[in-house]
Amino acid sequence: MRWLPGLLMISALFVIATTAMLVPTAKGVPQNLTEHSWIYNQGYMDDMRIYQTEAGFRGQKLVTGTRGSGTVSRTIDAEVYGGWGSLDEISMSEWGVYQNKPSSTYAPSLTQSDLRNALCAKNYETGSVYSESYSNLVDLVKDTSIIQTNEVSVYDIKSEVQGTAKIGARVQKSASTVPAYVMGGTYMGYTNIHMSLETGNASVLTLPCP
């Protein structure tokens, strides 16, 4: 059958073309993030979040932050998709109540506490890192759950603390891409924080709201 080699060549070209459609675009390696967070702070806080899908003057950018003393109750829900061909977007909503009323019930101890607690988790396969540290502790109740595989990272944090809390996270799929998510925060006084982060090949709205 003389037409068989030609048919095999056409089939091979079709497979190559189909595979090429699935290769990430020049924007970079596909990366995504889902975040649900809630915080209540009486005292002082200084935090910032940066979301982006591409480097430089391309793609989508979003920055949000809070700094100062008072009472803050805030909820953030965000999704980031970058490098997925034509899908290049950020979806984010923020709800909050900000009052210049430092807590009258929280009074730092006269002597500094040497009680501390810290955790750091890294996933080199999905390009994610999460860290938390607590110092000058009066009280700390924490419930941190972490799942890391070659496909996905899930960080679920619930902490109630009187003292100083520092939370940080970063999602960057590879050295050739920009960070899709950078977060850092310092919270002093009374803080109650719930935060869920998920990134990786399965990070599409699989987390419940806190």
Instruction: Please write the tens of the pLDDT for every residue from 128-145.
Output: 999 999 999 999 999 999
> Sorting pLDDT into bands at 50, 70 and 90, what band is 11?
very low
Q: Between the CA of residue 30 and those of 33, 43, 202, what are the distances in Å?
A: 11, 39, 12
State which H helix or E strand residue 88 sits in.
strand 87-99
Map out the domains of the chain as residue ranges. Answer: 29-200
Instruction: Please write the tens of the pLDDT for every residue from 31-89.
Output: 889 999 999 999 999 999 999 998 888 889 999 999 999 999 999 999 998 877 677 89
> Sorting pLDDT into bands at 50, 70 and 90, what band is 118?
very high
pTM over 0.85: no
Q: What is the mean pLDDT of the chain?
A: 82
